[in-house]
Amino acid sequence: MTNVLQVHDLHFSYHDGRPALRGVSFAMCAGEKVALVGPNGAGKSTLMLHLNGILPDRPRDFVHGRGEVSVEEKRLTRDNLPVIRALVGLVFQNPDDQLFSPTVFEDVAFGPLHMGLPMKEVEARVESALEAVRMSGFRDRLSHHLSVGEKKRIAIATVLSMKPQILVLDEPSAGLDPRGRRTLINLLRELPITMLVSTHDMKLVQELFPRTIVMDEGQIVADGQTRDILENEELLTAHGLEKP
């Protein structure tokens, strides 16, 4: 199988000089669902922002870092940023960071509209994206008055409507009540799409993801079958994680 996503020796420091990524390399096959775990400040969110070229001011030369990100064998550069963004759907941790339009419909339609799709196609995509997250009745609601769980699902719909190859989610279950969390887990299980999900929710990891990547201090410290990693208590404690 070919790799949908390939990250090679990625380094990155923030403006204050704090290194956030220190040589990250991994690859993902089509259809794979991978969990990304690690303590706060391990570099998970920074890595995710790199996957659709948000962080580097100038991705051509990775001003504050170096390395390579390739999606479907296309190397991420400044010139093909828009193409890469159509392939990688990034869902931010805080849905308030994701939703910026007055109504649900406009938010979900933004991606496809920006891609220049005809109105009919946009309508169809919005419908199917909302259906996929089971929010069909919400298209005319005001985004900022929804509950956290509803906002999360809308946030996922806003990238599903772009029909990405990879879905990248940053802590999707944070702040959800048990029912909202259950709905989200079922939703993630059913979505037939390659997925990289960062989380602190080890039960979610156990239930949903065959493969797990453990990050700490800007580096990947373990990458393998979830079963093996969750058995390795020494590894989990060393990196501030808990066995579910």
Partner 1 sequence: MHFDAFDRYHETNSFVHRLDPRIKVAVTVAFILSNALLPDGAWIAFGLSWMLLLFANIFSNLGIAFTLKRSFVALPFALVAITVLFSIPGNPLASFHFLLWDLTISDTGFLRFVSILIRSWLSVQMAILLVATARFPDIIHALGHLRVPSILTTIIAFLYRYLFVLGDEVFRLMRAREARSAAAGRRSGRSVVWRANVAGHMAGQLFLRSYERSDRVYNAMLARGYAGHLETINPHELRRRDYITAALALLAILFLQLAGRL
Buried b (16+ CB within 10 A) or exposed e, 159-187: bbbbbbbbbbbbbbbeebeeebbebbbeb
Task: Rule CB under 8 A: say whether 113 interacts with partner 1.
Answer: yes
Q: Which residues on neighbouring strands pair with residue 170, listed in sequence order?
A: 198
Give the shortest CB-26-to-partner 1 separation in angstroms: 21
Beta strands in 48-200 (DSSP E): 65-71, 74-75, 88-91, 166-170, 194-198
User: Binding of partner 1 at residue 92 (CB under 8 A)?
Assistant: yes
Mark residues 178-197: x for contact with partner 1 by CB under 8 A, - for none.
Answer: --------------------
State the minimum distance, in angstroms, from the CB of residue 56 to partner 1: 12
- Please choose, out of 79-87, 132-140, 193-201, 228-236, the segment that lies near partner 1 by the rule CB under 8 A: 79-87
Phi, psi angle pair for 139, to nearest 5°: -65, -30
Interface residue with partner 1, options 93, 158, 198, 226 (CB under 8 A)? 158
In whole angstroms, how close is the CB of 164 to partner 1 at the nearest point?
9
Indicate whether 162 belongs to the interface with partner 1 (CB under 8 A): yes
Answer whether 171's CB lies under 8 Å from 200's CB: yes
Q: Which residues contact 71 (CB under 8 A, 6 or more apart)?
A: 4, 5, 6, 51, 84, 87, 88, 165, 166
Cβ nearer to partner 1, comparing 17 with 178? 17
3-state secondary structure of 160: helix
133 binds partner 1 (CB under 8 A): no
Counting contacts by CB under 8 A, is residue 70 touching partner 1?
no
User: Which regions of the chain does DSSP assign to beta strands (E)?
Assistant: 3-13, 19-29, 33-37, 65-71, 74-75, 88-91, 166-170, 194-198, 211-216, 219-225
The DSSP code for 151 is H
**Rule CB under 8 A: is residue 98 a binding residue for partner 1?**
yes
Closest separation between CB of residue 197 and partner 1, Å? Answer: 17
What's the rounded Cα separation, in Å, for the pair 45 and 50? 9
Q: At closest approach, how far in Å is the CB of 44 from partner 1?
A: 15
Q: Which of 144, 189, 203, 243 binds partner 1 (CB under 8 A)?
A: 144
Which residue's structure tokens are 């096959």? 29
Stretch that binds partner 1, among 59-67, 94-102, 179-187, 203-211 (CB under 8 A): 94-102
Q: Which positions touch partner 1 (CB under 8 A)? A: 14, 52, 54, 82-83, 85-86, 90, 92, 96-102, 106, 110-111, 113-117, 144, 158-159, 162
